[in-house]
Amino acid sequence: MRLKNYSLNTINSYNHFFEKFLAHFHGKDVDSLTKEQITDFLYQECLKGMSYGYQNQLINAIKFYYEKVLGRKRDFYNIPRAKKPQKLPVVFSEEEITILLNQVKNLKHKCILFLIYSAGLRISESVNMKVADIDSTRNLVIIRGGKGKKDRTSLLSHKLLIMLREYYKEYRPKEFLFEGETGGQYSVKSIQNIFNKALASSGIKKEATVHSLRHSFATHLLERGTDLRYIQELLGHNSSKTTEIYTHITKKGMDKIASPLDNLDIQ
């Protein structure tokens, strides 16, 4: 998997699920298992009510071993699959974003959350960001090795740039844009803690995560008239279908539609 340049998260995930597979067949030569034995194992796991994501990762880990490591032909396991949930992302209004970000007083912490929202970054992309990835001459943020190992560019907010210059003078990061107290990459957990603290003090009652800032970035661009194709590029989505989910949550045009209840002469 390292030779194929898989991400560390994917490697860890596949290892975790394949260890479950090995534990189930403890004492047996997994290279000699029949398709029926593998299918039966997967079926038993499905009966436990596992989520779509769990089942998908488990099957992918097993297929990777037999097809990529052992070099066998591609195979299909005919098992009942959990239905992929169609959930709408949690999105903040622009007013809520203002309230949320105003809760953060530490300069470094502010820069982190401002960057994630203003450029629509994934949390992993923010910790991987390097000082040289801020292109102030072209007003661009360069995201290197994003999801799918793809590079892309996104927007560099003028307000953020002013803040980043102040931040750089104070913290003097050496390699990564955001570094820990002892140097090196800032941790994902620390960013989650910053966000959760800000959310708690904001009084906003939404089950949001750091990723909600990225969802809000896309939704707010759409509501302000940005073409969906440009949003797709900024987010780094392979398919426009992924980006189209924001058309289901935007309020654009909805303010021109009145609820039928409002047309009734009723108190």
Distance CA 18, CA 61 (A): 6
Catalytic, 2? Answer no
Encode burial over 97-132: b for 16+ CB neighbours within 10 A, e otherwise.
bebbbebbeeebbbbbbbbbbbbbbbbbbbbbbeee
Question: What Rg value do the Cα atoms of the chain yield, rounded?
Answer: 23
Catalytic, 147? Answer yes
Catalytic residue among 54, 147, 152, 168: 147
Catalytic, 211? Answer yes
The phi-psi region of residue 86 (left if phi > 0; otherwise alpha if psi is between -120 and 50; otherwise beta) is: beta
* Residue 106: closest CA among 222, 198, 13: 198
Catalytic, 214? Answer yes
* Residue 124 and residue 149 in contact, taking contact as beta carbons nearer than 8 Å: no
Catalytic residue among 122, 167, 186, 220: 122
Catalytic, 215? Answer no
Just list the catalytic residues. 122, 147, 211, 214, 237, 246
